[in-house]
Each structure stands twice: as structure tokens, then as C-alpha cells.
Amino acid sequence: MEHDFLPICRADMERRGIVQFDFVYVIGDAYVDHPSFGHAIISRLLEAHGYTVGIISQPDWKEKSSIAIYGEPRLAFLISGGNMDSMVNHYSVSKRKREKDAFTPGGVMGKRPDYAAIVYGNLIRQTYKKTPILLGGVEASLRRLAHYDYWSNKIKRSILLDSGADILMYGMGEHSILALAEALDSGLAAEDITFVDGTVYRTRKKEDIYDAVFLPDFETVKKDKASYARSFYLQYCNTDPFSGKRLAEEYPNQVFVVQNPPAKPLSQQEMDDIYALPYMRSYHPSYEASGGVPAISEVKFSLTSSRGCFGGCNFCALTFHQGRIVQSRSHGSMVEEAKILINDKEFKGYIHDVGGPTANFRFPACEKQLAKGVCIHRQCLFPEPCRHLKADHKDYLSLLQKLRKLPGVKKVFIRSGIRFDYLLADSSRTFLKELCQYHVSGQLKVAPEHISDQVLACMGKPKAAVYHRFVREYEAMNKKLGRKQYLVPYLMSSHPGSALQEAVKLAEFLRDLGCMPEQVQDFYPTPSTISTCMYYTGVDPRTMQPVYVARNPHEKAMQRALIQYRDPKNYELVKEALIKAGRRDLIGFDKKCLIKPRKKGTGGNHAKLSNRKQ
């Protein structure tokens, strides 16, 4: 049969002559057969190993029959809530419903439920009482043990328990899914598969849990924030595939949730093989009438060169999901995929991105990581680059040069973000030169996040002086090359550690810079990050020292408004914030002031004047 999308309906199944699928994969996203989508990788990997897979995309969770269109699978149901946690997908940080869902045909909101993985699991259990259910994806991975849930503002149980699933896969699941498939295919019952790395299972038999570190029990962490902080940090310290220990967490009625050590990282050959699978590289054609799936536009002409990140930002969940050990693809694999892009009829000559979580990370941070793992209580770049760090861009440069030379390629951009502190740690400035010369189109987006060293320490980011140094070097390089290119800084308001005084410092920085950012990210407490733990507990779990947290919505609005202080609609919030911070000196007509005084009865004119570049 000619290569095609996997079956998405009963008619597809019958056309292929399949009587019973090995796996039925229930996903919260639209079906997009592209390697940027986790469900595409897992389904194609299973197919490559001889298993049949049927896709049920965005089933109607109010209708039990929607989960039974293929009947019972031979081995298991698979569940993924989607490429994003369903709650992040649905709600802004202010807990307002978003208007669009980029992972749904036509961008329509409301095609998946809140807490999608839990709802899908229970929907399956209503019809198939004994069929194994394997849970995976970001939503499952970051909620695998007791976790703080921002939207309900409480500690929730492991999603394994609430979903009714038998086994949870966390992290990047290629090794785990193949091991589970082999075990199920051999006739093992799901409850007996307790030995696969990168999985979480439940048991009532404490005596069968061996070589495990027992976390504080669920009832304790639910009641005591300090216990939760300690538990979270224990989890954080056991995310490495080489040094990570088995973890166990007790729930009422003598139920134990056991997390096995993380799966080992993929070899370069395994990475190459995964990206060489026969993806259709687009959304299913049945979505065309609805306008397609918006998320494909961001990745269709981009190349993933690596996974994993040793950057260690505290507000990022990558440590919990992909891990700190960087894994990369070979140049040959990247070039072959680039040729596929070039032959696409919609390709205009521009490769939009070559990167990963951090574009300029191509290999592990140091020699020891692939043999002994990462350092448990030390970061590679924070507070300063480790003396063992290998800061070298030669391989990445070589890759970019090969891609630039391909016939049909006009420009190769880098959009997934670079770590400027890692760039500066490299003794050579060849990468900076070629970045400015070939891979920037007028503006380079970077993420200093804040300008207060106190806040940056809570974020796990380098000191402000490092960013200032990068700005100077970037500007000097562009001047040397005769180019007018600018930096667009990504900034975050209301991160733990930031009070109004720190927010004012950030506003002053922007004043001196002479710009007002169009995009500001208010800190979002998403599951399983150090910053979210700080937000909930009020302490840094690494040190158990108190951390200031802005939780009041009005204070958060003031912090955000300060970053965009030039916007007339923010005037009153900015004025209130400056007064509360004891900074009335910044209200006046001096060029150092953020806003001008308003006379009673006046409105827009003064505001418009204050919005001019000073």
C-alpha cells in the first residue's frame, strides 16, 4: 500500500484490512503526522516495529461511543493530552479562557476537555474495564507524582491515579514505549510490568518496591508546604538517567505510586532513525475544510537538531521532561530532512529554524555526562559557567554552513533561541559573527528575562552584567559587519523574587534602552518547575529560604504595566506602582521619569506625550 497517514476512522481501518489494532492512540490534538508532534513520533515508531496503530483525535468526551470506534485494541490504549498541558492550552495566566487552540483544526477552542488525559482515561475505563491504558505526553510527564495545580490552587494526586491508567510514561518515550509494547506482546499483564525505565506504576505491595527513595506521603505534602518543597526537590534531583533513583510516594489506603529511573538518552543513530521515519509532514487532509491546523506553520519548514537542555531555567519544565543531557542528530540526517523541505511545493527558500530547546546546544555540557550523568546539585551555566563546560560552536556552525549551501536555500534562520551566556563562554566569536551575518533578519530575540540579579537568581539565569556584555558584543559585531540589526529582549513579570521595587528596576532598564516590548510574559506557574514550587510554597526548594511571591492579581497587573509603562492605558497602574514602591521621583518631566503628572480632568494628551521615545 502507498505510504499514507495512519487510520483515523473505522473506514480507514477496514480499507487496510485490519481486524484489530495493536494500539489505539487517543490524542488531545489534531492528528499531525510531523516529528514535532509527540503522537506522530510514537505512532510511527510503533509502526516501524511491526505494530498497528489507530488514531482517535480529539474524541467527544461527552459521548462514550467516541472512544470505541475501533473496538478493543489487542495490546493497549495509548493516551496523550497533546503537545501542551491541556490547562495551559486552555487558559491564560489570568485563568481566562483562550480564544484559539493552535493544535485544533481551524484554531477552534473547546475540542478537548480540561485535564484531558484524566478525562480520556476515565472515558476508556467506562467501556473497557480491563484493557491496559498507557499514559504519556507532556501533561502526564509533568504530573506524574503529587504536584501543585495552579488552576485549582491545590496539590493534586499523581495523574496515574486520577486517569485510571495502568502505566505512565514520562520524558521522551521512545525507549519506554518499545519496551512496554514488547512486554505486553509477550503476554505480560500490565500490573506485572514494573521494570521499565521512564515509567511510573502503582502497587499496593510495599514489599515489592525495591531500592527506592520514599518521598513524603501525599497527605503530608497536601497539608504542609515545606514538605511539598522538600519532596519536589527530591524529584528534581532524580531526573538524571544515570544517577536518578527510583522514587515512591504513598497515598491513602496503602496505594503506592512508583517512579522508575529515567530512560537513557537516545544515541545519535537512534535520533537519526526516528527523524527518518515516513512522516507525511502535515496535518491530516480531513482538516483542510476547517482551515488546517495552525501549529504546523511554526514547524513545517524548521529542523530539530537536538533535544534536552542544560540551561537550567527554573521556570522551565525541560529538566523534568527532556532532561539536562543534550542529544543531537547527525549532519547527514539534518541535510536529508532539509532536502525534503526544499522539495515541498510551498517552500520559499527559507528554513525557519535549526535548533531545539536551545539552538546553540548541540552536545552534552561536559565529557562526563554521557557516562556518569549530570551533577545533582550543580548547574552547568548558573550562577556562572562550570569550569568543565565545553563551550564550542564548531559543530553547529558546520551544520549551518552545510544547510546554507544547499541548492534552493536562500536563508537559514535561528528562531528557537540561543543562550547568550553559553555563546560568551566560547573563546571564539566565529559563531557570533556568522549568526549576525547569515542567521538574523533584522532582529534577534533573546531572553534576559529580568534585570534584577535578585530575581535572576530565583530564575536560575545569569546576572544582568552578562546580558549587558552580550549586548555590547552583538552591537559591535553588527557595526563591524555594516548591519543594522537589533535585539528583542523577552522579559517576565511577577516571577518569584520580584516585588514592585524589582519591577521598577526593569522599567528603568527599558527606559534607558529606549524601547517598550510588545510581548511580556507574566510568570505562569505550570506543573513541575522550581519556580512553580516557589510560587506555591514561598520558599526556594533548593535552600528552603523564603522567597517573595506576587500572588495578588492587582500587584501582578502593576508589575506587568511597569514593563509597558509607555502604553497610555497603563498610566494609572504605573502611577500606583511607583507610589507604592516609594519611587515618586519617577513621576515628573525629567528625562529619567517614567510618566508625567496628569492634571485633574485631563486624559489622553499627557498619556500620548509620555509614550514618545525619550
Q: Which of 185, 201, 217 is the last residue of a domain?
A: 201
Give φ, ψ of 477 to 5 degrees: -65, -40
Higher pLDDT, 427 or 2: 427
Asked, as a colleague might, if the bond just before 383 is cis with ω within 30 of 0, I would say yes
Same-domain status, 434 and 554: no
Same-domain status, 497 and 389: no
Same-domain status, 412 and 542: no
Q: Is residue 293 part of a domain?
A: no
Q: Which of 201, 223, 257 is the last residue of a domain?
A: 201
**What would the pLDDT profile of 406-441 be if each residue is shown by its tens digit?**
999 999 999 888 999 999 999 999 999 999 999 998
Residue 317 gets which letter from DSSP? -
Residue 217 gets which letter from DSSP? P
Query: Which pLDDT score is estimated for 599?
Result: 74
Q: What's the angle, vertex CA 367, arms to CA 363 and CA 373, rounded to 5?
A: 85
Query: Which pLDDT score is estimated for 609?
Result: 32
- pLDDT over 80 (residue 108): yes
Query: Which pLDDT score is estimated for 602?
Result: 52
Same-domain status, 540 and 406: no
**CATH number reported for the structural domain that contains residue 70 in this entry:** 3.40.50.280
Q: Is residue 215 part of a domain?
A: no
Sheet holding 443-449, edge to edge: 443-449, 486-493, 520-522
Find out whether 23 and 51 touch, Cβ atoms under 8 Å. Answer: yes
- pLDDT over 80 (residue 32): yes
Alpha-carbon gap, residue 564 to 518, rounded angstroms: 8
Residue 218 gets which letter from DSSP? H
Instruction: Mention every residue, 6+ apart, whose C-beta is less than 8 A from residue 199.
Output: 167, 168, 169, 170, 176, 180, 193, 260
Give bridge partners of residue 135 from the DSSP assignment.
79, 168
Q: Is residue 263 part of a domain?
A: no
Alpha-carbon gap, residue 23 to 473, rounded angstroms: 53
Same-domain status, 17 and 165: yes
Q: Is residue 457 part of a domain?
A: no
Find out whether 349 and 411 touch, Cβ atoms under 8 Å. Answer: yes
Query: Which pLDDT score is estimated for 608?
Result: 36
Alpha-carbon gap, residue 557 to 562, rounded angstroms: 9
Helix or strand (DSSP H, E) at 156: strand 154-156
Within 183-240, strands assigned E span 199-203, 212-214
Same-domain status, 325 and 183: no
Question: 193 lies in which domain range?
Answer: 10-201
- pLDDT over 90 (residue 540): yes
Length of the chain (residues): 614
Is the four-CA dihedral 64, 70, 71, 76 of positive or negative sign? negative
Alpha-carbon gap, residue 36 to 355, rounded angstroms: 12
Write the secondary structure of 68-82 as one string of H (helix), E (strand) and C (coil): CCCCCCCCEEEEECC
**What would the pLDDT profile of 268-318 be if each residue is shown by its tens digit?**
999 999 999 999 999 999 999 999 999 999 999 999 999 999 999 999 999
**What would the pLDDT profile of 126-140 be if each residue is shown by its tens digit?**
999 999 999 999 999
First and final C-alpha spacing in the chain: 66
Domain count, the chain: 3
320 residue type, one letter: F
459 residue type, one letter: M
Q: Is residue 144 part of a domain?
A: yes
Query: Which pLDDT score is estimated for 601?
Result: 53
Q: Is residue 242 part of a domain?
A: no
Q: Is residue 267 part of a domain?
A: no
pTM comes to 0.94
Query: Which pLDDT score is estimated for 613?
Result: 35
Query: Which pLDDT score is estimated for 180?
Result: 98
Query: What pLDDT band is residue 477 in, cutting at 50, 70 and 90?
Result: very high
Same-domain status, 167 and 54: yes
- pLDDT over 60 (residue 606): no
Mean pLDDT of the chain: 94
Query: Which pLDDT score is estimated for 371?
Result: 86
Q: Is residue 157 part of a domain?
A: yes
Average pLDDT over residues 372-385: 93
Percent of the chain with pLDDT over 90: 93
Alpha-carbon gap, residue 74 to 226, rounded angstroms: 45
